[in-house]
Amino acid sequence: MSPTTLALVKLAAVALPLVAVAWPLGIYPGRRLVQLALVPAATSLALAFVPEMLWLVVGLDIVLGVAVVGDLGTLPSRRAFAAERHAGRIASLRKRHPVSLGISSRAGRAFAVTIRDGTPEQLHPAPAEFSVDLAPQSRTTVDYVLRPGRRGAFTIGPASLRIQSRLGLWRRFVSCPGETVIHVYPDVKQLGQYALLARTNRLSLLGVRRTRRVGQHHDFERLRDYTIDDSYKHIEWRATARRQKLTVKDFQASQSQQIVFLLDCGRMMTNEAAGLSLLDHALNATLLLSYVALRQNDSVGLVAFSDEVYRFVPPRSGMNQMGRLLNACFDQFPRLVESRYDLAFRYLAAHSRKRSLVVLVTNVIDEVNARQVHGYLSNLVGRHLPLGVLLRDRRMFAAADAEDPQGSAFWEAAAAAEILSWRHQTLTDLAHSGVLVIDAFPDQLTAPLVNRYLEIKARHLL
């Protein structure tokens, strides 16, 4: 047998049985073992030149074989490690969401461990992998952050551990059972931000204007005890002196009114702006306005549709309605189908007879959809107060605003200008029909939508 053949036979005779035994147990050779396996192969090739080295080669093979097999025995069992994950069940789209992963070791010695949690790629974990040294009978905690790039329900699967043997010749992969379901909602953290800014009278930071409500500070309702958030100018000093307790005037709130959102989930909402789909931006603005309206004791409902009606949330008041709205829309995505406005408006007529502020959030790019939007919204005038929210395309405006376009850019600018002129005429026709209109970029929709709602409340248009 030639030295080369001998080297290959020796390599196969040692490696194949070990791999056959280790592979089903989740054990794989490390880089050091692959490099070490080349040593007996190289010494076997040397026999072609120095046959007297046979016993040295055999001895070296035995030593290396014992080391490989012995190092395999230093790997821990699968039951020596456990993982425990702590994460909030609800996350916000593209917002920081912390996760804590605790790893416990019941092994009798220290191990170098590489940890990778079973996080779906859409959640964008950072960092995605950790390298730690686990002491015997100890527990360590690693923290990472998720920034979800998509709404929906996601399951974080078992955590995977890669453990090195004492000499680093072998690696064992251990899967620690444990699943965590995370629901990625639209930007719900903006609700807390709005509440905080409202309490500190700094809503202008969100672009929300202060609107004076006619009769708001003159419709006296009752006297009540002072609370820390009340304005000093509402203190009733005579009642305070008589009761020996701070007393403030309470003013009658506006009559509870109703808002119904019609969210287009069709192909017109699949375009993206600032890294999010138009539907994502629409949901963020819709949820914030819902929060504002519910704080005003109004009722809020929602219809999500495209070629059919997918979700319907009946209009209700109270902050519990926010949970219903979130659960109804967090897993809704734009579909590549033509939207059926007729179905949505017939559904609205059948399930919402009370006069409401009907907010249709959509996008129009052709005359067919524009005629449908105009026809159905204008038919609501009188029975309801229709508000059409049409989302702009930044690329279209950028092409039309280009300075001194040359070549193909000139024709792109001309086409964009023609489309924008048609779009402006569509908005004008809607306004002349008695329909309220909001024309905004998707990522700047929240402030104009809230401001228009506050204006409607202030002018008692409902």
- Secondary structure of 89-118 as H, E, C letters: CEEECCCCEEEEEEEEECCCCCEEEEEEEE
- Where helices occur in 131-208 by DSSP H, the ranges are 189-199
SS3 22: helix
The per-residue DSSP string of 301-330 comes to: EEEEESSSEEEEEEEE-STHHHHHHHHHHT
Between CA 101 and CA 118 the distance in angstroms is 11
* pLDDT greater at residue 308 or residue 404: 308
Report the share of the chain in percent with pLDDT over 90. 32
Residue 359's contacts (CB-CB under 8 Å, 6 or more residues apart) are: 259, 260, 261, 262, 286, 289, 387, 389, 449
pLDDT at 14 over 60: no
pLDDT band for position 296 (50/70/90)?
confident
Backbone angles phi, psi at 100, to 5 degrees: -120, 130
Q: Residue 223: is its pLDDT beyond 90?
A: no
Q: Which 3 state secondary structure label does DSSP give 11? A: helix
The pLDDT value given to residue 97: 93
Tell me: pLDDT of 357 over 70: yes
For range 113-117, the mean pLDDT: 90
Helix (H) or strand (E) holding 144: strand 138-146
> If DSSP codes are grouped into helix, strand and coil, which group holds residue 36?
helix
pTM value is 0.70
Distances (CA, A) of 389 to 269, 331, 374, 462: 12, 22, 12, 18
- Nearest one of 255, 237, 233, 256 to 246, comparing CA atoms: 237
Are 102 and 115 in contact, with CB atoms under 8 Å apart? no
Q: How confident is the model at residue 391 (pLDDT cuts 50, 70, 90)?
A: very high
Q: What is the mean pLDDT of the chain?
A: 82
Asked whether the predicted pLDDT for residue 359 surpasses 90, the reply is: yes
Return the amino acid letter for 63. V
> Does position 123 have pLDDT exceeding 60, yes or no?
yes
Under the banding of pLDDT at 50, 70 and 90, the label for residue 19 is low
User: Mean of the pLDDT values across residues 232-242?
Assistant: 86
Predicted local distance difference test score (pLDDT) of residue 51: 66
Q: Which domains does the chain have, with CATH numbers?
A: 3-72 (no CATH), 78-185 (2.60.40.10), 189-251 (no CATH), 258-459 (3.40.50.410)
State the pLDDT at residue 215: 46
